[in-house]
Amino acid sequence: MKKIIAGLIVLVVIGYLYSGFFTKGMLVGTYVNPHFKVSRGEDGPVFADTIRLLDDNSYNSGYWEKGTYKISYTPLGTQIQLGTKNQFHNLSLQTFIRRDNVVGSPKIIIGGDTGSYYKID
């Protein structure tokens, strides 16, 4: 019985790590935003958008424009920070990258309450 419980605990920990922790190489690519429901006070596009995360820590997007991103890790999982600075404005977003239920592709979560996210294309 103890081996079964230990095995289940190991599976839960592996599932948690797999669904919330990513290396940079796993994240480089093109992400699309199929849901653009943004609530007041939340940052995010109000139209369909695409983000391309590049290998050199830069990105480009219709909404977020061109800028740099930074990957960091917390006990809750992998975080990404997008930043754009130009003569007109500063845009910044710090959010999490997750998978749904241990399966599926990584998603950049934009609006936790609204379900808005970018999914890998």
pLDDT digit string, tens, across residues 12-42:
888 888 888 898 889 999 999 876 665 555 5
**C-alpha torsion sign, points 26, 103, 110, 33:** positive
Q: Which residue has the higher pLDDT, 31 or 46?
A: 31
Q: How many CB atoms lie within 10 A of CB 88?
A: 8
Terminal CA-to-CA distance of the chain, rounded, Å?
43
Q: Where are the domains of the chain?
A: 2-120
What digits encode the pLDDT tens for the residues 50-106?
999 999 999 998 888 889 999 999 988 999 998 877 666 777 888 899 887 777 888
